[in-house]
Structure formats: C-alpha cells, structure tokens
Amino acid sequence: MAASRSSVHASFSPATGTFTKLKLHHSKKGLTAMKVVHLLHRTGILVAAIVYFVFCVKATKLTIEILRGKDNPVMSPPPSDVSLLRTALGTSATTVRDTPLHRTVVHDDGTPAGGTLYLEKSGASFKACARMSPLATEIVADGFQRSIYDAIVLGAGYNLTFLAPDSIELIVPIVDCSSIAVVEEYVSSTRMTYLVRDRRTSADVSILTVDLYNQEYFIKAQKEHGPAGVAIVSLVKDLQPTTAVDYHFLVALEYPYEEPEFDVYTFLQVDDEGMWSLQHIPKDPKKELPFVLTTAFRTGFFLKSETRQSTVSNEVPILAQTPLDAITRADSASKTVQYDSWAWVHLVQLLFGLNLLLNLLILLTVVFHNLRAGKFWIGDAFVPISSTTTIRGAIVLVTWGVSGFWSFYELAYHDTYEILGISTTHAYDDIVRADLMCLYLMICGLMGTVFRERVDPLLTMICFEIGFESRRRISQWFP
C-alpha cells in the first residue's frame, strides 16, 4: 500500500514579517524491496515469538501432568527371532516329531544324547558356536544348559506334573547360534530349548522352551525385594497354528547370586507400573503361606530416592500365541515410570509464557489498528524477551539447582541410552527444551552485550531448534 506524503514551501517577507505559502506538494512512494524484506523479517520474528510461547505452554502442561502422575505409554522394543531353529522346524510339520529337526538333525532318534546340539548356518553339530564372548560361552555351554533343565524339573514337579522327573526325559539341549545371547551378548535374558520325550511313550516327542530372565522382585506385604530368576516354561508337541500354547511361571528368588530353586507361580495381571503380579504356589501349604510378588526387568536411574526423582523402565515378556512363535520368537513390552517431586519448579515457564502472551496481545492489537488505518506495520515481537533474557536464564539455573539438575540428567541419560541402543525409556523433552531455550537466549543476549551488536532473534531460534533436534547426531561427531 502506498504512503502519501505532503510538503509545504513558504517564503519569509522581512517587510511584513510574515510567511507566504508558495506551493503544496503531494508525493506517493510505494513499498521498496528493502521494506518488503524488513516486513518479512519482522513476521518471522513474530512467528518465532509465538513458537517460544508454544514451548512454554507445552512445558507447563507437561509439568502439571507429572505432578498429577502422568501415565506413560507402553513401548515395545524390536523382537528377537532365532531364525536357524525356525528353519530346522520347517513350515509344514504338524508335530515336533515330523519336523526336519527331529527327522534329519537328530536322525529320528529319541535316545538321550550327551552334549548340546548347536545350530549354525553351516549345519548342526555338537561343537559350540564360533566367535563367542567368554560370558556367552558359559551360558550356551552344555553344563549350564543341563543345570537349568534340572533345576526346572526338580523345582516345578510338585505342581506341574508333566515336568516331574518320572514324566519327562531330556533328549538333547538345542542352542541356536543366531540367538541374541550369542550374537549380541545380551545375557539379561536367554532362551533355552530342549528336545524332550515322554518317559512312558518314547515316541511322544516335544520341545520344552524355557525363557529365563534376570529380574527384580518385590513382595510388598513383607517389604522384601531383590534379584530373581523368572522362567517362562512352555511344552509344545503340536505345531499347528490353531493350537493354544500353555505357559507356566517359575521364580527362583535371589538368583543369580544363589543356586536356582524354582517355585511355581500363577500369573495374576500386569499392574499399573507395567510389572507382572504373580501368586506363589507353596510346595507344602501346611508350612508355607502363599504370597504375591511383582517382578520385571528394571533399568533406569534415580537421584537420592526412587520415590522422589527417578526414571525406571519396567520390561516384561509378551507371550506368543502360536506354537512356532512360542519356540522361536521373543517379544517384550516396557513401561517407563517416572517420579519427580521437584517438578513444580518448572512452573516458572508458566510465568514466562503469560508475560510473553501479554506482550504479543499488545503487539497484535497495535498491528490490527494500523491495518484499519491503512498502514501495514509489525513491531519487534522479541523486544520483551530480549530485555529479560538474563533474568529468565538466571531463574532457570536456580530452578535446576533446586531440583538437583534432574531434568537435565534425565534427558542426558535418555539420549545416551538411545545412542547406545541398550534400552528404551521415556523422556520429557518439552520441559528441558523450554529451559535450554531460556539459557540459550541468555547466552546470545550476553554475547550481544559484549560485542555491542544484537544477535538476530529469528536466527537464534532457528539455530536452537536445529541443535536441539539434532543433538544425538551431533554428539556422535565427537569421540
């Protein structure tokens, strides 16, 4: 829109002492390229200020949710699959006895064999997997495989009669050399596969699968907790997809620091924190009372106390629904439980947001009135922010000190876990983003004061967003 400009020219008469109007000029000048660039830049700054306000709102909303006890979503890591064992079982067999594993690898012989059968791409043999770490070598060794089998049979026989020593006989342990325990040296859990037969009917061949997990247990009624070995046992004879799989649960308290003594448990539910609730079945009901324990594979960190400031991921297995998946596939789900008793300090972002909202409303009101008057003008939306960056940054540092720098530690640990790929946790990025943005703007403001040149706020916000979103990739640039 063109702006009108008027000018008056006059001459002064010494004789009369008056001014005489000579001519009235009207000139019109349109928008220049520089003015367009200036208006676009001011519009970009306005958008950046609105983005700043949105970050403050998100941080405030998340803080309130944390104080009210936010329920995090369940996350599922990628499943692991023992592909060589799946190949050995085939796709067309309806029973374990009809599989290539039994007919070709074991040569249709149900006679118990000495040693452990190892499956590799080159074939099956009783020679251990190649290129294993010392710890993985111990886990897949014949002695360890058989010791777990003996512990399961001896511990579960009092309730699970099909596992009693006089009901089942071990033919041979089977180790898939493509399993996660061998390839990735993941030893927090391991799958053990046993080819077994019925002692009364030797032709009745099945696969006994034992998923052994190192977990942490809690018995709330007795205020007791510690490590535990949790075994999920399934016995599969019929491989048809429509066949239901029965799972049984055994727990050895204090394992692996003590020899495993398994007891049978009944699955109750998955509680609100993503942990399994299991009820104990006593071996002698006259001498033992049943109790309920909760258990999960727990990873995470805390500051001072787990109930004050903590981020803990509770991971439990997902039970497969088909016989073939029950033998060859392992899935899990994890839920992150977070506590932060000092989360209220982040409500300072609410004050920052309200202050910015007030200034934005004033600016937009002025812009609106100018538009009605026929003038397109946008003020610098970052002026109220730039004038208080030092104060805002100092307040954020104080809140971090009061909370023990917890939110910063939480994001740092989460990013480290993500980069290393060792676990799946949930982090509240929005709170740390708003805090770091205040500190970043404070640093830019101090730099502008030192060099006596204002750092462009639009460029500042763009650089911050790029840096924050790319922080994991940037961190990998450095050794």
pLDDT digits (tens, 9 = 90+) for 258-315: 999 999 999 999 999 999 999 999 998 888 889 999 999 998 888 888 888 988 989 9
What is the average pLDDT score of the chain? 85
User: Where do the H-state alpha helices sit in 297-347?
Assistant: 323-328
Token duo for residue 53: 């306000």
pLDDT of residue 6: 44
pLDDT of residue 418: 82
Angle between helices 457-469 and 429-451 (to 10 degrees): 140
H/E stretch holding 479 reads: none
Name the more confident of 261 and 185.
Answer: 261
Average pLDDT of span 246-262: 95
pLDDT of residue 132: 82
Choose the weakest-confidence range: 104-113, 135-144, 361-370.
104-113
Query: Residue 204's CB: how many other CB atoms inside 10 A?
Result: 16
Candidates 387, 354, 377; CA nearest to 43 is: 377
Kindly report the pTM of this predicted structure: 0.78
The dihedral sign for the CA sequence 62, 68, 73, 74:
positive
pLDDT of residue 178: 84
